[in-house]
Amino acid sequence: MDIIEAAKSKIEAEITNIESRSDLSDDQKRSRIIHIFSVTCAAVAVQPIPFADIFVLTPIQAYMGVRLSAIRGMPLSDAEATDLLKEIAGIVGLGMAAQQVALGLYKVGLPFLAGFTTIPLVYGLTYAIGRIMDFYLEKKSKGQAVNNADLKRMWEKFREEGKQKAKSAKDEVMSKKDEF
């Protein structure tokens, strides 16, 4: 899909070497990665492609995992990051799938509302995925077990945090949407 490759190229141009930067702490690098991917996914999602979002957004979100793992010093391949994303989706339950269905329905039934609903939904979802992936990678890098109950609790917290952050990112998302 061209839209996936365009999004990956844009992301690569902005973040490929972030793990090598000495002017940012690792926390700043991870926060930037999560924000950039959240904005990118929201900008892609406002495109009028009903129900294709999951097929377009999932590879982009998996690539976010690749970048987060590079910052943590434990690189993952695209396939390994996709597996991690699937594992997280299985743990947090149907919340992710339900949000994707709602997003598709808005685009079909109420396309004029899609921009208003899509940005906080997708930014918040991608933000939460990024934070959960980073938490998971942190625990694994230390040889610690990841507790499913903790992941579910953190999912709710990070999803709400992401929705709040989406409000301040709306203008940035709207300026990026024409790049795709």
54-105 confidence digits (pLDDT tens): 678 888 888 899 999 999 998 888 888 888 888 787 776 645 555 555 556 5
Domain assignment of residue 52, yes or no: yes
Show the domain range for 37. Answer: 2-14+24-172
Distance from the first to the final alpha carbon of the chain: 12
**Amino acid occupying residue 134:** D
Q: Cβ of 119: how many Cβ atoms within 10 Å?
A: 26
Confidence of residue 6 (pLDDT cuts 50, 70, 90): confident
**When comparing pLDDT for 50 and 152, which is higher?**
152
Vertex 93 angle, CA 155 and 161, to 5°: 20
Domain assignment of residue 178, yes or no: no
Confidence of residue 174 (pLDDT cuts 50, 70, 90): confident
Domain assignment of residue 19, yes or no: no
Domain assignment of residue 97, yes or no: yes
Task: Give the total number of structural domains in the chain.
Answer: 1
Domain assignment of residue 149, yes or no: yes
**When comparing pLDDT for 168 and 2, which is higher?**
168
Q: Quick one: DSSP state of residue 18? A: G
pLDDT at 39: 93
Query: How many Å apart are CA 51 and CA 147, to the nearest integer?
Result: 32
pLDDT at 121: 82
pLDDT at 13: 60
**When comparing pLDDT for 145 and 107, which is higher?**
145
Query: How many Å apart are CA 57 and CA 42, to the nearest integer?
Result: 9
Residue 119 has pLDDT above 60, yes or no: yes
Domain assignment of residue 54, yes or no: yes
Vertex 171 angle, CA 168 and 176, to 5°: 125
Domain assignment of residue 180, yes or no: no
Domain assignment of residue 179, yes or no: no
Residue 132 has pLDDT above 70, yes or no: yes
